[in-house]
Structure 1
Amino acid sequence: MSDVLTTQDLDSRLEKHRTELTGYCYRMLGSAFEADDAVQDTMVRAWRNFDKFEGRSSLRSWLYRIATNVCLDMLNAGNRRARPMDLTAATPVAQAALNSRPEITWLEPVPDGRVLPSTADPAETAVSRESVRLAFVAALQHLPPKQRAVLILREVLAWKASEVAELLETTIASVNSALQRARATIAEHGSQETDTANPLNEEQKKLLERYVAAFEGYDMTALTALLHEDATLSMPPYDLWLRGHDDIVGWMLGVGEVCRGSKLVPVVANGTPAFAHYHPSQSGDGGFEPWALMVIEIVEGRVSGITSFLDTKRWFPLFDLPEHLEKGDVAH
């Protein structure tokens, strides 16, 4: 082959592609943990079959072929992932109740560092961040697996139609047809663009500072001033979701009152601002315990969506967040 690789440097060559492959698999699967599993499976298959790699395509293309087949196998074996708003209409706060839906396979958050490789191209960075937003990944879940792969490869990773056709072992006409159908489905399910977090401009920074102050102070007047009128609040793994100022405030001053006195620690998830939400410790030590990973969506200078992922035993270790905060060690 023209690009000779030895077993001595194969591992390092494979590892160079881990982050971008994880991003691809996350968009395909909607799960950070499944994406990690898929990439690990891809690396193992590449090791085992490296002697069959003939070098007619690049190592990167070969790895994407393997990763695509891994993801397609996983998708054929399970249900698509969803957000609460993909399942039901918004619930009026007077009827709101926390109903867990264990049969639902929920869309999961992901740390940017696991799925967004560093690049010097600002346009490429922007596309990468846009394409891991919760709303976009949720919209991808409505696509059949192969259409999903085509859309990601063509429009996110900017592969040529001929390259995608070769990877999927199909024709250019089939790729173009699949892309057209995928675009129509994405448009139908309305993936609204939201502001990404790299870098935050001064207006966004001030908005988030005001959001933290309002939430930590539990000042609902200040909080609603930062929300769009049709802003949403959801709390996976519960199927409840709320829309609009009155219902969100009604919830937070009712069942959500337990969040009074919480602390927020900034992180970044799915290309957008996020917070680790710590609840006052029940031990009475004045510290704080993990409560939720709060992903914030911003549109035109206001918060349009709040998704609080409540399974902190999964999310806090994934984001390398501490299991406990002492009273004096919260800094923004």
Structure 2
Amino acid sequence: MRIRDDGAATAAEALRRQDFARLVDPFRAELLTHCRRMTGSAHDAEDLVQETYLRAWRAYAEFEGRSSVRTWLHRIATNVCLTALDGRRRLPVPAGLPDARPEHGDSAPGPLDGDAGRRPDRDAPLGLSADPADIVVTRDDRRRALTVVWQHLSPRQRAVLILRDVLAWHANEIAELLGTSGSAVHSMLRRARAQLAQAAPTPAGAEVDDLRLRRLLGEYAAAFETGDVNALVRLLTEDTVCERRPAGTRLDGPDEIARFLEHCPAMGECRMVPLSANGRPGFGVYRRSPGGEYRAYTIDVLTITGSGLERIEVLEDRALFRTFGLPMTLAGDHV
């Protein structure tokens, strides 16, 4: 009779779990983004990623490496999200993020495969600057894409559009995942793109060229980091609005905003990390702690027009830092 070595079995299981964690952990941030984009809920994204990892662990013994780990995880995450969306009548804008509205400085979106010859590296985890959302929001014909998708596309249309035009999957891969045909995938993709093309045009005179946009964002970050209230106020329009959520505080105009900034604890005591939210530029704001490190403080989302900074939305939910793939702390010597 064979006697089971429980100690050896336990050790083997521990090594298997370590190997699994080593393979999948680098993809957590982009899976959070994928689940948030698919379901339209920042708060649900964390639970959906946990469910994705649970399903992946259960199937890990059968994973034979026929696809990359990244593709395998996105396939599981997409199915998890489609299950979560089943039966919903409306796909909401992500909770805690700014309400969907046309972004200033965008041209009307066209087909999302305008750069079909440029495919992202599908085998490597995406860093902050290469997040799939940035592929969409940094191209002139794509900036409204995510907002429109959240509001108007069915779950399967959303999956097809994101997998094809953001993650660069082939139609046959998407068809296999959804249990349909390649022609059905192309049909859903055409309908989804047609809905994107119906986005409202940009108001006349609201365009902001890339050079000016970069300059304004740089000056905004520098003003906060150095505590220069006057420099920041110079970026504002005459009717700039600043809103804090969920507190519901609203400041109207440069004078009210300046008075608030004079007592803002983050002014001159923070570091700013750029991000994109619903196609709009913003920053993760980290406030210096007594120990010298910088801790997650707020998410600032900006609306910029040709006249300057028109709207500042300050999101005080620190859980959103993980949703955007940002760390909760930065070292004291971070630049």
Q: Please classify the TM superposition score into its range, dividing by the shorter chain length.
A: 0.5 to 0.7
Does residue 252 of structure 1 match 2:257? Answer: yes
- Aligned-pair CA distance for 1:141: 1.2
SS at match of 1:266: strand
- Aligned-pair CA distance for 1:203: 3.4
Gaps of 5+ in 2: 1-14, 102-124, 289-293
Give the whole-Å Cα distance in 1 for the aligned partners of 2:241 and 2:163: 31
Partner in structure 1 of residue 189 of structure 2: 179
Residues 202, 305 of structure 1: alpha-carbon distance in 2 compared, 3 angstrom cutoff: closer
Give the residue type in structure 1 aligned to 2:191: R
SS at match of 2:168: coil
SS at match of 1:72: helix
Residue among 138, 154, 166 paired with 2:147: 138
Give the whole-Å Cα distance in 1 for the aligned partners of 2:239 and 2:187: 35
Residues 298, 136 of structure 1: alpha-carbon distance in 2 compared, 3 angstrom cutoff: farther
Give the whole-Å Cα distance in 2 for the aligned partners of 1:229 and 1:162: 52
Give the whole-Å Cα distance in 1 for the aligned partners of 2:275 and 2:296: 16
Let me know the Cα RMSD of the aligned residues: 4.9
- Aligned-pair CA distance for 1:248: 3.7
Does residue 129 of structure 1 match 2:138? Answer: no
Does residue 41 of structure 1 match 2:51? Answer: yes
Give the whole-Å Cα distance in 2 for the aligned partners of 1:63 and 1:289: 30
SS at match of 1:188: coil
Partner in structure 1 of residue 215 of structure 2: 203
SS at match of 2:134: helix
Gaps of 5+ in 1: 1-5, 88-115, 280-287, 323-328
Residue among 261, 264, 279 paired with 2:263: 261
Any idea what the Cα deviations from partners look like across 1:111-144, whole Å, max 9, x if unmatched? Answer: xxxxx7239xx9xx38542447896543331122
Residues 150, 234 of structure 1: alpha-carbon distance in 2 compared, 3 angstrom cutoff: farther
Partner in structure 2 of residue 14 of structure 1: 24
- With the length of structure 1 as denominator, give the TM-score of the two structures: 0.60
Give the whole-Å Cα distance in 1 for the aligned partners of 2:50 and 2:198: 34
Give the whole-Å Cα distance in 2 for the aligned partners of 1:258 and 1:226: 16
Residues 278, 46 of structure 1: alpha-carbon distance in 2 compared, 3 angstrom cutoff: closer
Give the whole-Å Cα distance in 2 for the aligned partners of 1:32 and 1:182: 22
Give the whole-Å Cα distance in 1 for the aligned partners of 2:172 and 2:239: 42
Give the whole-Å Cα distance in 2 for the aligned partners of 1:259 and 1:18: 35
Any idea what the Cα deviations from partners look like across 1:57-81, whole Å, max 9, x if unmatched? Answer: 5544332221111112223376512
Q: Counterparts of 1:222-233 in structure 2 under 5 Å?
A: 223=232, 225-227=234-236, 233=242
SS at match of 1:295: strand
- Aligned-pair CA distance for 1:165: 1.2
- Aligned residues with identical type, % of pairs: 32
Partner in structure 2 of residue 71 of structure 1: 81
Residues 48, 320 of structure 1: alpha-carbon distance in 2 compared, 3 angstrom cutoff: closer
Any idea what the Cα deviations from partners look like across 1:129-165, whole Å, max 9, x if unmatched? Answer: 2447896543331122221111111111111111111
Q: Counterparts of 1:81-160 in structure 2 under 5 Å?
A: 81-82=93-94, 85-86=99-100, 117-118=126-127, 125=130, 128-131=133-136, 137-142=146-151, 143-160=153-170
- Aligned-pair CA distance for 1:294: 1.4
Give the residue type in structure 2 aligned to 1:267: V
Give the residue type in structure 2 aligned to 1:169: G
For the 8 Å contact 1:195–1:299, the answer to whether it is kept is no
Give the residue type in structure 1 aligned to 2:92: R
Partner in structure 2 of residue 311 of structure 1: 317
Give the residue type in structure 2 aligned to 1:261: H
Does residue 212 of structure 1 match 2:224? Answer: yes
For the 8 Å contact 1:230–1:304, the answer to whether it is kept is yes
For the 8 Å contact 1:30–1:137, the answer to whether it is kept is no
For the 8 Å contact 2:272–2:285, the answer to whether it is kept is yes
Give the whole-Å Cα distance in 1 for the aligned partners of 2:306 and 2:287: 28
Residues 46, 191 of structure 1: alpha-carbon distance in 2 compared, 3 angstrom cutoff: farther
Residues 265, 301 of structure 1: alpha-carbon distance in 2 compared, 3 angstrom cutoff: farther
Give the residue type in structure 1 aligned to 2:257: M
Partner in structure 1 of residue 285 of structure 2: 276
For the 8 Å contact 2:38–2:81, the answer to whether it is kept is yes
Give the whole-Å Cα distance in 2 for the aligned partners of 1:191 and 1:147: 23
Give the whole-Å Cα distance in 2 for the aligned partners of 1:236 and 1:184: 34
